[in-house]
Chains A and B, each alone.
Chain A
Amino acid sequence: MSIKLDHEELHRLLAALADSDIQEFRLEGEDFRLEVRRNLPILLKLPLRSL
């Protein structure tokens, strides 16, 4: 009972996710894990002098 996803299917899935309002998507099976997140907080790197 394993999940298989080829490149084409993966691209279709990512395109479908991009068109949706889904913020987080996690699919897991035996020997398979796919995690897609968007709008993650951006970590700003500040120069040391400014600290």
Chain B
Amino acid sequence: MTFAQSYDHGIRASEMISSNDFRTGTTIELDGAVWRVVEFLHVKPGKGSAFVRTKLKAVQSGNVVEKTFRAGEMLPQALLEKSILQHTYMESGDYVFMDMSSYEETRLTAGQIGVSRKYLKEGMEVNVVSWNGKPLEVELPNSVVLKVKETDPGVKGDTATGGTKPAILETGAQVMVPLFISIGEKIKVDTRNDSYLGREN
């Protein structure tokens, strides 16, 4: 018996998804956890039945597993909700976020936020992804502007050599910056790949 067959029959048909309709980013529910499809391979052989081999990433833990489904197998889709919340303060190691329209607070642990926390600053607005009312993860904006807290002294006028040096930002994140960047300057960083995007005034 497949997981889909053994799943609670009370689930609405609209919440099921066929493995044929998988796309990267599709979220499904397996064994009580939410998994995101990060890669998939759909193969239809001349003889035998088609299958979909997937690479799934657990939204909460970040674990990655490979799983194969029959083509057309129905699975419960995990419908995630996104809300824009502002990171207001930290308390006892928890990150507190506030819905600025309802003033409702949401607390997340460092583990729930994962690596995103290295760019998280008080006052920053982020997408908090929830499932069944339970916050799962934090999505940062694609780029953030942060102040350089530590780096080697800047080399004035060195804009052409293309050399880089490590810099620690106000949130603790470490990124590679051009040689001319000095402590106290604000820089724009791509949060998806930790790359330096430019200087900000």
Contact = CB atoms under 8 A, between A and B. Distances in A.
Interface stretch (B42-50, B72-80, B160-168): B42-50
A25 B39 CA distance: 13
Contacts of A28: 23-24, 39-41
Contacts of A1: 38-39, 55, 57, 64
Contact of B45 (A3, A23, A26, A30): A23
B40 A22 contact: no
Main secondary structure of the interface of B (DSSP, over half): strand
B42 A24 contact: yes
A28 B55 CA distance: 10
B46 A26 contact: no
Interface in B27-42: 38-42
Contacts of A21: 45-47
A20 B41 CA distance: 16
B27 to A, nearest CB: 15
A27 B38 CA distance: 11
Interface of A: 1, 3, 20-30
Interface of B: 23-24, 38-47, 50, 55, 57, 64
A-B CB proximity, top 7 nearest: A21-B46, A24-B44, A26-B42, A29-B39, A23-B44, A27-B41, A1-B38
